[in-house]
Amino acid sequence: MGFRVGFGIDFHQLTEGRDLWLGGVKIPSRLGAKGHSDADVLLHAICDAMLGALALGDIGMHFPDTSAEFKDIDSKVLLARTRDLVSDKGYRVVNIDSTLTLEAPRIRPHVSDMCRTIANVLGIGEEDVSIKATTTEKMGFVGRQEGLVAYATVLLERPA
């Protein structure tokens, strides 16, 4: 049995007039993330962690923001395609530990929906998806609500 660990990070600007998608769930907010896709920083960080664990490059290499194919795409589709890339190499996700960094809105009421959504896409248990949230205590671009950040660590396993 082989194990691989990957780490991912993603940043997006916040702006008015966009929806805020986190962990595949639309979160009520006056500000949304700006990006070529739906700009779901959490799913993007998880994709990067999965890809990085197997040295498969990054999300931008597989799903470039210069491609019309990925314009406004639902990031759950990107996560599913990343799952397939990992599966093609003989691996599966064991667990995910992630952290969202933003000042508002409050994330805790949405964590179980996000865990369920991610688990369903990846074919793992909800108990295998950890999502935490923190603020920067009003410091920096996150504190000024100019952007948000997501971090993710993923453990992959190649079953015997």
29-68 confidence digits (pLDDT tens): 999 999 999 999 999 999 999 999 999 999 999 998 888 8
Task: Give DSSP secondary structure letters for 83-143.
Answer: HHHHHHTT-EEEEEEEEEE-SSS--GGGHHHHHHHHHHHHTS-GGGEEEEEE--TT-HHHH
pLDDT for the residue 1: 67
Q: How confident is the model at residue 160 (pLDDT cuts 50, 70, 90)?
A: confident
Closest CA to 131 of 94, 100, 85, 93: 100
Residue 152 has pLDDT above 80, yes or no: yes
pLDDT for the residue 72: 80
Q: Whole-prediction pTM value?
A: 0.96
pLDDT digits (tens, 9 = 90+) for 77-119: 999 999 999 999 999 999 999 999 999 999 999 999 999 999 9
What is the set of domains in the chain, with CATH numbers?
A: 2-134+142-158 (3.30.1330.50)
